[in-house]
Amino acid sequence: MSHYLKSTLVILISLFALSCHDKKDTQKVKISVKLLNGKGAKVDLITNNFLSLDTIMLASTTADTAGKALIEVALDRPIFANIQSNDEYIHMLLSPGDVIDIEPDTSKKLGKLRLVGDGAAAQQHLEKTRDLQQKYEKVNGKHSIETDLNEFISRRDALRKGYDSLLADFAKDPTVSKPTLQLMATKNQMAQYFFHQNYISAKYDFNFNNPEIPATLKTVIKDLPDDSLAMASNMYEYSSILNYYLLADIFREVGDVAEKLENDSLGDKWATIANNVIKNRKFSPRLDAHFRAANLNYYVNMEGIYPELLALRNDFNRDCKVPVYKKAIDKSFAKWEAIGPGKPAPDFTGLTSDGKKVSLSSLKGKVVYVDVWATWCVPCREEFPDSKKLVKQFEGNDQVVFLYVSVDRNVNAWKKLLKDSSIPAGTHINEQTDQPGSLWEKYHLWGIPRYILINSDGTMLETHAPRPSSGKAADRIKSYLKPA
């Protein structure tokens, strides 16, 4: 039996033991919530995307007139999750079959929540470890990453002793199962590793290979944790560790490789270079699958779908035997496929400087080149001289419109700048990123500038169109216009 198969069986057996402790009869978790002054309040059950740290909504409901809400969700394994409502939240370890009550803890601060029923002991332990972590992360207004080495080590040692003491007390509770105790012990270990990793990142410019890192710190993070239960339970600390490693170690090597290549030859090859770096690291099958999936997830969220990434996805699907990763990648690709070439372009609406509404749908019949920008965005405004030249090339052509969408919160600053001669001609609107149905949400923007091309029939052409300074924008636009 291969090492990987043995490892997989150990994971499954451990998860089964944790899930079926006390012979639970159901795979559902039932959570009853009672809020003070919670009439009509939204109640969310969330966890995190292990690949990206993004929030995953497991369930959502609204409290009734008495401030009561009920959430039921099916689980196939124990996971860490949060109940959130308004500004209150409670961190929990959920296991299949749990029946949980959450109610106001009037013995403490008004409105603070407490958990009773299944998982109460675990939740109380999580709260204590959180308070302990916050105690040593910031002392007398000074964050741990701002300390010198000696002070950091002093805090680290005190934090470790605190974790050990809390875990020893937790182990004395007769209601706590051995698998739950193991998960909490692992969580403490991951929190301590991340405490070091975060300090090193801050002090040594995200370079874990910096020779100036003291041995007392380097020894702690020398071996990257490879933990199946931490991964399966969506443990936030472990997810953070792996995410930091991807950004600070793997992507740093990607940058080193890219520097040796001709910049013009890179194109869309960054994800491929990163994938090769990961494969050359000779990780365990579990970590190899994680980092390859995280790399795919990172670049599809950043750049959308393109041929190079599709090829990597096919290779990953062929090699990866972890269904949860394939499902996560499929979900990330699906949101881009929904706005792929030929799909209906999601409508959005903004206001002109004089308060008139302009929607994308109102421009149907013309090819629309969308430029998303803001007055405070230097790269956006650096494109404007080329934007003006681009607009000039299509002067008098009624088949194309240039739509400039400002995401400025300071609308007055935007209106004032529109009068400046540096601003390209075109249709200018402002749309807030957090308004319902915004372009920012529908087109999966993460930063600006961003350029989008919409066809005259209202369908998508390109979610990542060439920027004006690329020298390719004019020809690309012309290729979509009808012959004169």
Residues 341-386 pLDDT 10s = 999 999 999 999 999 999 999 999 999 999 999 999 999 999 999 9
Task: Enter the pTM of the model.
Answer: 0.82
Cα-based torsion angle of the residue sequence 289, 290, 296, 301 in order, rounded to the nearest 10 degrees? 160
Higher pLDDT, 262 or 317: 317
**In the chain, what are the domain boundaries?**
3-118, 122-237, 261-337, 349-479
Structure tokens given for 81:
């999750």
Sign of the CA dihedral running 356, 360, 361, 364? positive
Distances (CA, A) of 204 to 123, 152, 207, 212, 322: 35, 14, 6, 8, 34
Per-residue confidence (pLDDT) for residue 113, from 0 to 100:
83
Residues 250-275 have a mean pLDDT of: 81
Q: Are 145 and 156 in contact (CB under 8 A)?
A: no
Distances (CA, A) of 375 to 301, 379, 380, 413: 25, 10, 8, 7
Per-residue confidence (pLDDT) for residue 259, from 0 to 100:
80
Per-residue confidence (pLDDT) for residue 20, from 0 to 100:
39
Residue 19 has pLDDT above 70, yes or no: no
Could you tell me what percent of the chain has a pLDDT over 70? Answer: 92
Residue 59 has pLDDT above 60, yes or no: yes
Per-residue confidence (pLDDT) for residue 264, from 0 to 100:
52
Residue 6 has pLDDT above 80, yes or no: no
* CB half-sphere exposure, 416, CA atoms < 13 A: 7
Report phi then psi at 424, rounded to 5.
Answer: -65, 155
Nearest to 372 by CA among 460, 461, 465: 465
Per-residue confidence (pLDDT) for residue 298, from 0 to 100:
93
349-479 adopts what CATH topology?
Glutaredoxin (3.40.30)
Per-residue confidence (pLDDT) for residue 267, from 0 to 100:
63
User: What mean pLDDT, rounded, does the chain reach?
Assistant: 89
| Other CB atoms within 10 A of residue 314 CB | 10
Interacting residues of 207 by C-beta distance below 8 A, sequence separation 6+: 248, 252
Per-residue confidence (pLDDT) for residue 263, from 0 to 100:
60
3-118 adopts what CATH topology?
Immunoglobulin-like (2.60.40)
Per-residue confidence (pLDDT) for residue 280, from 0 to 100:
94
Judge whether 3-118 and 349-479 match in fold: no
Question: Which residues in 19-42 are b (16+ Cβ under 10 Å) and which e?
Answer: bebeebeeeebbbbbebeebeebe
pLDDT digits (tens, 9 = 90+) for 407-427: 999 999 999 999 999 999 999
Q: How many residues does the chain have?
A: 484
